Every structure is written in C-alpha cells, then in structure tokens.
C-alpha cells in the first residue's frame, strides 16, 4: 500500500508540473495570476552577498494590484542580477490573512543585516532607481518572527522609513 501511495504522489507531482507549464510557460509567473501559493521568490544569481543573518530584514513595498506584475518584474530581474540583496518575494493573488489591504500587494526586498546601514541604504537607493520613490518601511525579521504586524495593532516597528 505504501508503494502505491508513493507512486500516486509521483503521478500528482508530474501532473502538477505539466499543468503548471501548460498554464504558465514562462519561468517567471505573474503574481496577479498565481493562486496556489502565497509568495513568488527571486534569488540573487550574480555576484556575492553576505549570508542572511539573525539581524536580517526587508524593505516592504506596497503596490496597487494594477501595478504589482510590472513592479515585481523589475525587482525580480534586479535581484537576480545581483543589484539588490540576496532575495526578494512578492505576495500573489492568493488571499493572505496577514495582508492589511486587499487592493495592494507587498514586495519584500531582503538585506542580510539591518545594522549594516550602508547596505540597507544602498538597496533603498537602487529601489528608487527602479521607480519606488514613495516612502517605504524597513522591517527586521525579528519583528516578523515575533508576529508583529500592522494589522494586529503593532505600530512603529520599522527600523527605517524612507
């Protein structure tokens, strides 16, 4: 019976991969079209960057639904090119209980250490060059792991706001 269930699972995985390719032939799906996952991720592919530390954090970019695909594409590409931090992620069309506004999606651009102010600000400047010119918050991962979210009443948890 165990072998049958393993075989069945493998068939489902193959079907899922095949289905995904049929639905989205691109390696870079649009966040507005993804409903089977909360997040899409991008990883640095060029250059080196310090390992994410216990003091890691992220810039939080809140984007209107109508712009999330275009903004994500710029940030995904720039992350992969090694011009931002080590990784980034974007909220998808799947409803998330931590979201504060159903008309916006968040893009997180990670840095290795919020105490490394020069790196945090370098990444912020690169985001400005990509068109993210409004003020955005920077949140340490420690606050996220502690369950501190604006929609839960936590205020002033940003390490930076620029």
pLDDT at 9: 31
- Total of domains in the chain: 1
In a domain, 98, yes or no: yes
User: What CATH number does residue 70 fall under?
Assistant: 3.30.760.10
90 pLDDT higher than 90: yes
Q: Domain range spanning residue 56?
A: 27-161
Helices (H) and strands (E) in the chain, counts: 4, 6
In a domain, 20, yes or no: no
Which long-range contacts (C-beta less than 8 Å, at least 24 apart) are formed by 26-35?
28/73, 28/76, 30/69, 30/72, 31/68, 31/69, 31/72, 31/90, 31/91, 31/92, 31/93, 31/105, 32/65, 32/68, 32/69, 32/92, 32/93, 33/93, 34/92, 34/93, 34/94, 35/92, 35/93, 35/94
In a domain, 56, yes or no: yes
In a domain, 92, yes or no: yes
In a domain, 154, yes or no: yes
- Look at residues 113, 117, 90 and name the one whose alpha carbon lies nearest to residue 32: 90
Give this prediction's pTM: 0.80
pLDDT at 22: 36
In a domain, 116, yes or no: yes
Which position has the token pair 């604006």? 150
Q: How confident is the model at residue 136 (pLDDT cuts 50, 70, 90)?
A: very high
């Amino acid at each position: 019976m165990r072998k049958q269930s393993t075989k069945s699972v493998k068939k489902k995985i193959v079907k899922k991969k095949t289905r995904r390719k049929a639905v989205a032939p691109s390696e870079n799906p649009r966040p507005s079209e993804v409903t089977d996952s909360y997040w899409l991720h991008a990883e640095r592919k060029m250059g080196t960057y310090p390992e994410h530390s216990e003091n890691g954090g992220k810039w939080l970019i809140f984007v209107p639904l109508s712009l999330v695909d275009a903004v994500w594409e710029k940030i995904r590409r720039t992350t992969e090119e090694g011009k931002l931090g080590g990784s980034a992620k974007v909220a998808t069309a799947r409803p998330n209980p931590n979201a504060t506004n159903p008309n916006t999606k968040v893009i997180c651009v990670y840095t290795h250490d919020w105490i490394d102010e020069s790196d945090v600000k370098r990444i912020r400047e690169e985001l400005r060059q990509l068109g993210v010119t409004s003020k955005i918050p920077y949140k340490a991962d420690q606050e996220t792991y502690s369950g501190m979210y604006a929609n839960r009443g936590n205020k002033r948890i940003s390490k930076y706001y620029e």
